[in-house]
């Protein structure tokens, strides 16, 4: 830990080493599943960027990267449930293997919205890889094919996860002190 905002962290949930070890395992599993088949990886902005950057370097299958963005949170720590579309992909995914790379699935509403949008373009296959799976608050029947870690009902920051757009550049994942969160 060597970040100015470390002082606001109550508990480290996953260290840099734990994250990197699990991501290497996921990359190996994905490479074994896809083999020589090309993957169109869709990184969901902004939170999945560190995860995607690390994961793609552990994938040995041919890979093309694209980006998509939507928001539900609007800068606070509680979800509004309303999904706002912000950025579409540029690749033509018709007949190709799409792999969504997401930071976390919480209610599942964001990814449900984005995957429905991509499914309309007739990909050959569509799978989901998420670093964190928070199943307790799931509001859809959406589940990931590859999961880094299962998470309880915590609000986490670091390694792509933000609180009011900060904390994303920490190399570990932690839980904030309640007094550091504005009510
Ligand atoms: P969902 O639509 O699945 O409810 O929410 C997905 C998005 O909510 C994630 O991509 C992420 O941006 C945000 N989110 C959900 N849980 C957390 C959390 O514990 N910490 C942070 N920083 N963001 C979260």
Which of 46, 73, 107, 178 has the most ligand 1 atoms within 8 A of CB, as the residue to mutate? 73
Which pLDDT score, from 0 to 100, does residue 75 have?
47
Q: Which residue's CA is the nearest one to ligand 1's atom 12?
A: 47
Which pLDDT score, from 0 to 100, does residue 77 have?
52
pTM (whole model) above 0.85? yes
Average of per-residue pLDDT values in the chain: 93
Higher pLDDT, 48 or 2: 48
To which H or E segment does residue 49 belong? helix 49-56
Q: Is 33 a catalytic residue?
A: no
- Tens of pLDDT, residues 60-113: 999 999 999 998 754 455 556 788 889 999 999 999 999 999 999 999 999 999
d(CA 156, CA 61): 31
- Tens of pLDDT, residues 105-148: 999 999 999 999 999 999 999 999 999 999 888 889 899 999 99
Nearest-atom index, ligand 1, CA of 107 = 4
């Amino acid at each position: 830990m060597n970040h100015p905002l470390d002082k606001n962290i109550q508990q480290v949930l996953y260290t840099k080493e734990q994250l990197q070890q699990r991501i290497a395992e996921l990359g190996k599993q994905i490479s074994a599943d896809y083999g020589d088949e090309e993957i169109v990886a869709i990184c969901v902005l902004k939170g999945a960027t560190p995860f995607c950057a690390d994961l793609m370097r552990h994938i040995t299958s041919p890979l093309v990267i694209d980006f998509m963005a939507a928001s539900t949170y609007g800068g606070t720590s509680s979800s509004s449930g309303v999904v706002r579309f912000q950025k579409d992909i540029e690749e033509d995914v018709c007949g190709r293997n799409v792999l969504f790379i997401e930071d976390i699935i919480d209610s599942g509403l964001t990814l449900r919205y984005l995957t429905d949008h991509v499914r309309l373009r007739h990909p050959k296959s569509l799978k989901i890889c998420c670093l964190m799976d928070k199943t307790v608050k799931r509001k859809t029947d959406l589940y990931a094919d590859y999961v880094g870690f299962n998470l309880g009902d915590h609000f986490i920051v670091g390694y792509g996860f933000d609180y009011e757009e900060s904390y994303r550049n920490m190399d570990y994942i932690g839980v904030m002190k309640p007094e550091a969160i504005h009510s």
